[in-house]
Amino acid sequence: MNQSSQSYLRQKLAEHISGGEAFTPIEALIEKIPYDKIGIVPDHLPYSLWQLLYHIRYTQLDILEFSRDPNYKAPNWPDDYWPSDTSKASKDEWEDLKRSYLRERKEFISLIKDDKIDLFKPFGHGEGQTLFREAILIIEHAAYHTRQVLILMRLLKIYN
């Protein structure tokens, strides 16, 4: 793949990780969530907005750490990927969760945009995963759960 094609691919991956191409970016949704609604678990659903955003952020951080740390150790699935406490976070924890998610997303995008990193070279650890594969995983995971955030917001009458 020539340099121009690689640059285009890196830019497109970064845009899709940020959201907004095919769905509303998550930061546009989470900024509309009033704090008093983050801990509510609607009927017939297993999680609150707090738990869902925690899961999205934790998974993204896990993929980021896997992508940049050759000594990566996998967390326990599913226990580590969902908050053990089902009650809502404090306001400070909620704000920190949102900031951390966005900061770590920028860090992953920086990896994607670094033309010194081969998108298609398998990591020295893992089972053949590449940075390209991890970027696609983040895109799919975020898109899937962003829709769930929107549905929860509609059920909680936060979003029309």
- Lowest mean pLDDT, pick from 11-20, 84-93, 148-157: 84-93
Q: Position 123: which residue type?
A: F
Q: Which of 123, 138, 11, 1 is nearest to 69 (CA)?
A: 123
Residue 36 lies in a domain: yes
Q: Is pLDDT above 90 for 155?
A: yes
- Ramachandran area for residue 83 (φ above 0: left; ψ -120 to 50: alpha; else beta): beta
Other residues' Cβ atoms within 10 Å of the Cβ of residue 147:
12
Q: Position 66: which residue type?
A: F
Say if CB 123 and CB 129 are below 8 A apart.
yes
CA distance 15 to 10: 9
**Which tens digit of pLDDT belongs to each residue from 82-140?**
997 767 789 999 999 999 999 999 999 999 999 999 999 999 999 999 999 999 999 99
Residue 145 lies in a domain: yes
Number of domains in the chain: 1
Whole-model pTM: value is 0.94
Q: How confident is the model at residue 4 (pLDDT cuts 50, 70, 90)?
A: confident
Q: How confident is the model at residue 2 (pLDDT cuts 50, 70, 90)?
A: confident
Residue 98 lies in a domain: yes
Residue 99 lies in a domain: yes
Q: How confident is the model at residue 3 (pLDDT cuts 50, 70, 90)?
A: confident
pLDDT of residue 89: 87
Residue 160 lies in a domain: no
The whole domain housing 69 covers 3-155
Residue 58's domain is classified under what CATH number? 1.20.120.450
Residue 128 lies in a domain: yes
Residue 131 lies in a domain: yes
**Which tens digit of pLDDT belongs to each residue from 42-73?**
999 999 999 999 999 999 999 999 999 999 99
Helix spans in 21-130 (H):
26-30, 49-68, 91-113
